[in-house]
Amino acid sequence: MFPIYKKELQSFFYTPFAYAIAALFMLLFSLSFSTGIARLEGSNTWNFSFAEIFYSVILYFIFLLPILTMRTFADERKNGTEVLLMTSPISVAKIVLAKFLANITVYIFMLLGTSIFPIITAVKGQVVVSQLICAYIGIFFWGAMYIALGMLISSFTESSIIAAIIGEVVMFVLLFVDDFSNTAFISQYPKVQSVLYSFAAQPRFAYFSEGFIRLSDLVFFASAIIVLLIWTYISIEKRRWNRG
């Protein structure tokens, strides 16, 4: 499994790909940070939490994460290397897990870059550390879930561009599941509303961004990640047997 994990990381870090995504994210995060500071104009002390910033960067990740995951399996099919991968002695489950961990590593690399902003804030003002830690935990699990989703979508096509576009659309739709469940039409059907709301990740992340860690939210994200990875495994395994 480690050779595939290493190969995936090299495909990210030995090319400008990972650095370009990280740089773009840092630019967008900096704009949100600057906006937060601008609202404190005239104050001698920066006294704001990162809850709003982390909540707003979700929209940025909706744009960036499909780009991060679009090549996971699509490029393997396009370049013809999928055959070598499928005939290797490594199981499909380990292949999926290795690629997932590689994407997670790049994601953590992106998040680590944002740690400079709480440090800057702590020098000039005040940081609610407990809330900050919860926000990081929440954004990690939220991103991990969407990375697993992006990998699943990438396993369906040989075009990384199509994988990215579909990923953008699906993730954007899922972002507003809770709003859709609260519409007047859906509210007429309480059971349907309850089912839809149970799949909404946005309200669960909101608790993290506000400084709360609930076991139910951790279970939700962990379960979603596991289910999506299993579906990815089934998708790849099915194509492997079809080739055979």
Res 47: pLDDT: 53
Question: Which tens digits make up the pLDDT trace of 59-68?
Answer: 788 888 999 9
| The token pair that represents 33 in the structure block | 């940070």
Is the pTM here over 0.85, yes or no? yes
Q: What is the mean pLDDT of residues 124-137?
A: 81
Instruction: Look at the chain and report how many structural domains it folds into.
Output: 1
pLDDT at 196: 78
**pLDDT exceeds cutoff 90 at 144:** yes
Reference 56, options 197, 164, 205, 171; nearest CA is 205
Is the pLDDT reported for residue 148 higher than 90?
yes
> What does the alpha-carbon distance between residue 232 and residue 236 come to, in Å, rounded to a whole number?
6
What is the extent of the structural domain holding 111?
Answer: 2-243
Q: Which stretches of the chain are assigned E, i.e. beta strand?
A: 46-47, 125-126
Angle among Cα 221, 227, 228 to the nearest 5 degrees reads 90
For residues 1 and 102, is the Cβ–Cβ distance under 8 A? no
Per-residue pLDDT at 48 = 54
By the 8 A CB rule, do 68 and 106 touch? yes
Q: What is the pLDDT of residue 179?
A: 77
Once rounded to an integer, what is the mean pLDDT over residues 147-153?
A: 94
d(CA 96, CA 107): 16
Could you say which DSSP state residue 42 is in? T
At 11-38, the pLDDT tens digits run: 888 888 888 888 888 888 888 777 766 6
Which residue in the block uniquely carries the two structure tokens 């075009």? 159
Which H or E run contains 129? Answer: helix 129-154
For the chain, percent helix, then strand, then coil, each to nearest 5? 80, 0, 20
* The two structure tokens encoding residue 206: 């909101």
Checking if the pLDDT of 163 tops 60, the result is: yes
